[in-house]
């Protein structure tokens, strides 16, 4: 297959982790005989420095001509005092909105060999296998903003259509998984949440095979720590999803291993790690590339329908963890931590070895 991918390295550790993920993508391309054509473009702080715009028109054009987008991370102290329009984060919000990527899928699954790094007890963390389905193009992130010297407000607006499509998406995802859906809101206080809850109730008639519960966000924040194994698909609005996904991510041991997919119902999508640009370790070559590598796996699965290739990346990442290789964020003994590149080499070697083993088997059949 031939696929065009726009690569947006961004800021901080973005360029390093994206370089790793691209190497893994090319290794998969070689093994499975796919032609992945890459076009690089600027976003975030890097784009502000170069074009005085966090999402330049050229970048949007390049993305439009591609089948999927791979993004590193945006942001950093250099741009912290910029006006709102010239903040790196604005580029990220705008690209999500421009391409109508309303569903942000954030899977949280325990890797057995990382459980010692989880802040939770092993027996609590080991059963985690949940998927946060975060609404990504509406809510308080995009509502009208006002600011005077002494007052400020952000409008939390949702239309029925915006809620319906994310809720339907979540029901479909639940169907493909364990058939459980938890809708998270703050319906005891917020009108947007009451409409949200009503729409979930309406939609559930269409999905009798899915078991639905409604839960208040404060209570879910607690239960994600006490009993995270309870959850299968969790659907929620933009703001709650942002907060809960960072919380859920550390259950697995590191924020550095969680991927995400932002999709809109066709095959186009944007794939990025859920973590940020980690400016404190940028340029040191020690960042964990796992989340970005796993984001490539999500791209292969959701945008290109390459299930086997995606599974191979996940298998290789898990195998490298099982062999006891870690980057500095996860290594128990920091002296033995691998660099970003060394850890990536291990993943690629794992893919290559598996492929050689397969070819040997085939030659006997
Ligand atoms: C995320 C990030 C972004 C968000 C920021 C960088 C704008 O935290 O992808 O979770 O809040 O959506
Ligand atoms: Mn976030």
What is d(CA 192, CA 102) in angstroms, rounded to the nearest whole number?
A: 17
pLDDT at 363: 65
pLDDT of res. 278: 97
Domains in the chain (CATH in brackets) are: 1-104+255-365 (3.40.718.10), 119-252 (3.40.718.10)
> Given this model, what pLDDT does residue 195 score?
98
C-beta of 89 in contact with ligand 1 (< 6 A): yes
In angstroms, what is the span from residue 90 Cα to ligand 1's centroid?
10
211 C-alpha to ligand 1 centroid (Å): 29
Distance 226 CA to ligand 2 centre (A): 22
92 lines ligand 1 (CB under 6 A): yes
Residue indicated by tokens 């093994």 = 31
pLDDT at residue number 218? 98
The response to whether residue 11 sits with its C-beta less than 6 Å from ligand 1 reads: no
Give the C-alpha distances (Å, rounded to integers) separating 68 from 36, 71, 81, 262: 11, 10, 32, 10
Distance CA 187, CA 193 (A): 5
Q: Report CA torsion sign: 48, 52, 55, 56.
A: negative
Please name which of 26, 2, 10 lies closest in space to residue 293, comparing C-alpha atoms.
26
∠ CA 225-235-75, rounded to 5°: 80
What is the rounded CA–CA span in Å between residue 249 and residue 19?
23
Q: Any idea which ligand is nearest the CA of 89? A: 1
CA distance 269 to 136: 13
| Helix, strand, or coil (residue 350) | helix
Dihedrals phi, psi of 2, to nearest 5 degrees? -115, 125
Cα separation, 10 vs 7, in Å, equals: 9
pTM greater than 0.85 (yes/no)? yes
Task: For ligand 1, say whether the CB of 270 is within 6 Å of any of its atoms.
Answer: no
pLDDT of 152 reads: 98
Paired residues of 154 in beta bridges: 145
For 214, list phi and psi in degrees, rounded to 5.
-105, 140
**Is 246 assigned a catalytic role?**
yes
Ligand 1 centroid distance, CA of 245 (Å): 10
Which ligand does the CA of 277 lie closest to?
Answer: 1
Strands 2-10 and 145-147: unpaired
CB 210 within 8 A of CB 112: no
Which atom number of ligand 1 is nearest to the Cα of residue 245? Answer: 10
Q: pLDDT tens string for the chain (365 positions)?
A: 999 999 999 999 999 999 999 999 999 999 999 999 999 999 999 999 999 999 999 999 999 999 999 999 999 999 999 999 999 999 999 999 999 999 999 999 999 999 999 999 999 999 999 999 999 999 999 999 999 999 999 999 999 999 999 999 999 999 999 999 999 999 999 999 999 999 999 999 999 999 999 999 999 999 999 999 999 999 999 999 999 999 999 999 888 999 999 999 999 999 999 999 999 999 999 999 999 999 999 999 999 999 999 999 999 999 999 999 999 999 998 899 999 999 999 999 999 998 777 776 666 66
Strand 211-216 and strand 180-185: pairing?
A: parallel
Name the residue of 12, 242, 243, 277 to mutate for ligand 1: max ligand atoms within 8 A of Cβ: 242
How is residue 1 written in tokens?
Answer: 């297959």
- Residue 50 CA to ligand 2 centre (angstroms): 25
Pick the catalytic residue from 80, 116, 218, 280. Answer: 218
3 is catalytic: no
- Token pair belonging to 315: 């298998």
Catalytic residue, candidates 90, 141, 203, 271? 141
Residues contacting residue 128 through CB under 8 Å, at least 6 positions apart? 108, 109, 110, 228, 229, 248, 251, 252
Cα angle: 217, vertex 245, 190; to 5 degrees: 25
Helices first, then strands: H and E counts in the chain: 12, 12
Q: What local confidence, expressed as pLDDT, does residue 86 receive?
A: 98
State yes or no: is 242 an active-site residue. yes
Q: Is the C-beta atom of 242 inside 6 A of ligand 1?
A: yes
Write the residue with the smallest CA distance to atom 7 of ligand 1.
Answer: 89
Q: Can you give the pLDDT at residue 334?
A: 87
Give the distance (Å) from ligand 2 centre to CA of residue 349.
32
C-alpha radius of gyration, the chain, whole number? 20
Question: Known catalytic residue: 64?
Answer: no
Question: Whats the size of the chain, residue-wise?
Answer: 365
What per-residue confidence (pLDDT) applies to 362?
67
Query: At residue 319, what are phi and psi to the nearest 5 degrees?
Result: -65, -40
Ligand nearest to the CA of 260: 1
For the question of residue 341 being annotated catalytic, the response is: no
């Amino acid at each position: 297959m031939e696929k065009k991918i726009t690569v947006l390295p961004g800021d901080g550790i973005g360029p390093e982790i994206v370089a790793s993920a691209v190497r893994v993508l090319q290794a998969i391309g070689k093994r499975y005989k796919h032609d992945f054509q890459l076009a690089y473009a600027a976003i975030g702080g890097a784009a502000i420095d170069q074009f005085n715009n966090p999402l330049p028109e050229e970048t949007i054009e390049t993305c439009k001509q591609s089948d999927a987008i791979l993004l590193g991370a945006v942001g950093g102290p250099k741009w912290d005092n910029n006006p709102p329009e010239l903040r790196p984060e604005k580029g990220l919000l705008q690209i999500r909105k421009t391409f109508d990527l309303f569903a942000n899928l954030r899977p949280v699954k325990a890797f057995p060999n990382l459980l010692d790094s989880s802040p939770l007890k092993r027996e609590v963390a080991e059963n985690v296998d949940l998927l946060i389905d975060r609404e990504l193009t509406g809510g308080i992130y995009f509502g009208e903003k006002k600011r005077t010297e002494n007052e400020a407000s952000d409008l939390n607006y949702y239309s029925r259509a915006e809620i319906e499509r994310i809720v339907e998406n979540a029901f479909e995802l639940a169907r493909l998984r364990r058939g459980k859906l938890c809708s998270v809101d703050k319906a005891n206080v917020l009108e947007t949440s009451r409409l949200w809850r009503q729409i979930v109730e309406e939609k559930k008639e269409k999905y009798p095979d899915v078991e639905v519960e409604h839960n208040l966000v404060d209570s879910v924040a607690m239960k994600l720590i006490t009993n995270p194994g309870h959850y299968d698909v969790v659907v929620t609005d933009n703001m709650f999803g942002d907060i809960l996904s960072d919380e859920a991510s550390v259950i697995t041991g590191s924020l550095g291993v969680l991927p995400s997919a932002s999709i809109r119902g066709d095959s186009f999508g944007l794939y990025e790690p859920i973590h940020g640009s980690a400016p404190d370790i940028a340029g040191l070559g020690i960042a964990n590339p796992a989340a970005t590598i796993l984001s490539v796996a999500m791209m292969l699965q959701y945008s290109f329908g390459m299930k086997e290739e995606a599974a191979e990346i996940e298998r290789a990442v898990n195998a490298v963890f099982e062999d006891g290789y870690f980057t500095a964020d996860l290594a128990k003994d920091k002296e033995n931590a691998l660099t970003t590149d060394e850890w990536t080499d291990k993943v690629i070697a794992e893919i290559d070895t598996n492929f050689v083993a397969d070819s040997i088997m085939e030659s006997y059949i």
